[in-house]
Amino acid sequence: MLTEKKSRVQKSLELWKHAEDIIMDGTQLYSKMASVGVKGVSPVYFVKADGVYAWDYEGNRYIDYTMGLGPCFVGYNNPKVKKAIQDQLEIGTIFSLPNPLEIKAAETLIDIIPCAEMVRFMKSGSEATQAAVRIARAYTGRELIIKGHYHGWHEWCLADTTKNGGIPKAYKDTVFEVKYNDIDTVKTLFEQHKNKIACVIIEPMETELPKDNYLQKLRELTIQNGALLIYDEVVTGFRFALGGAQEYFGVIPDLAVFGKAMGGGLPLSAVVGKKEIMQKAKEKIFVSSTFGGEMLSLAAFLAVVDILKTEPVHERIFSIGNKLRDGFNALAKKHGSKIECIGLGPRLDFNYRNLKGQTDLHVKTLFMQEVVKRGIYFVWNMLPSYQLSDKDIDYTLKVFDEALRITTEAERKGNVSKLLEGEPPIKVI
């Protein structure tokens, strides 16, 4: 529970209480709820951002490692992205007919994404994964789906979760969730549901590396069983390589979904894939969006691609992320902590374990509390921006050092819970 000591984000908490009265869930994205951080310590509202820094409602500044939950990996207020938006704003944002900018953006995707031969623009990652699955079902004439853990908020995504209110029970029988790298379960599902599985949709990588040719084996299994392989690259897209994780790992899917970083902070997503699949499916499905061709976002996307082509973005992101991961793990070893930083440079996460090696929510909370109090912000994955300076990285590691010292000492003294100044973060899904 919150302590009686006045919170450093007290004004924000009061505003949040009002927001919960008038906005369903208090905000538009579960991952932005006050309860996903250390409520009472973590910032609740950001009011401005620039580069890699964000300022909360009280005026505290943070180095932001979440970057808008992924979209702003070339930095907040990136000058090239901003100029592209401003220039397009003078021309227009949306018309009553298509604009040639849609063609230019589609050609750009086809040029840089290995699996892309045809494109459809949407606005959110959830919309795009929904469209991709509908295309797969229409193309194959099948209904069953094998999926990873999270791909958005539509029925097929959430039917088998605890957040399945309002979803007809029948949907649950059409979806099978598999853990990453569990190829044996995928094989079993294909055997049990022969000629009924439309697609396998997965993130090509979260923070666990593919093992024993996992992606290649998935590719082979889907081909053998007449199913489509769909990559959810909403997070990995443009972050791991210009052509996404499929370029980085060299295993090409039938369809792929991109979003988040695509618009440089503006809302844009896309389904891309083989022309034969999308041409056949389009006669059977209805996918339509008033704002799919909105031009500020398309202009921002083209600016993002230009940055990726002309600046050492990926080299820098891998370097930064790997330095943070390796530096953190060296510090954890120094302090005797069992907390571990995992993943590749562009996308990092933490295994929060206590000194006994067990997952521990209070240890996680104390560590996050001490980090955020010192001006480092992240909640779920760390998604470094290439605009982070060496000074930012050095300061972050210094904060990690101090937070690990405090957390480990508290564990040894058995007073972790007593040091908590806020409420433990919740798990959304």
As annotated, the active-site residues are: 150, 232, 260
Determine how many CB atoms are found less than 10 A away from the CB of residue 232: 28
Determine the distance from the C-alpha atom of residue 412 to the mean position of all C-alpha atoms in its chain, rounded to a whole number. 35
Q: Mark 383-412 as b/e (b = at least 16 C-beta within 10 Å).
A: bbbbbbeeebbeebbebbbebbebbbebbe
Looking at 207-312, list the stretches that DSSP marks H as alpha helix, in order from N- to C-terminal side.
Answer: 214-224, 244-249, 275-282, 295-310
**Residue 163 DSSP class:** -
Tell me which long-range contacts 96-100 makes (C-beta under 8 A, separation of at least 24): 98/293, 99/293, 99/295
**Residue 264, beta-bridge partner list:** 266
- Please tell me what DSSP assigns to residue 43: -
d(CA 346, CA 326): 13
β partners of residue 349: 342
Q: How far apart are CA 252 and CA 229, in angstroms?
A: 9
| DSSP code for 383 | -
Quote the CA–CA distance of 172 and 66 in Å, as a whole number: 32
The 3-state secondary structure of 293-346, one letter per residue:
CCHHHHHHHHHHHHHHHHCCHHHHHHHHHHHHHHHHHHHHHHHCCCCEEEEECC
User: Strand, helix or coil at 158?
Assistant: helix
Contact 278, 118 (CB under 8 A): yes
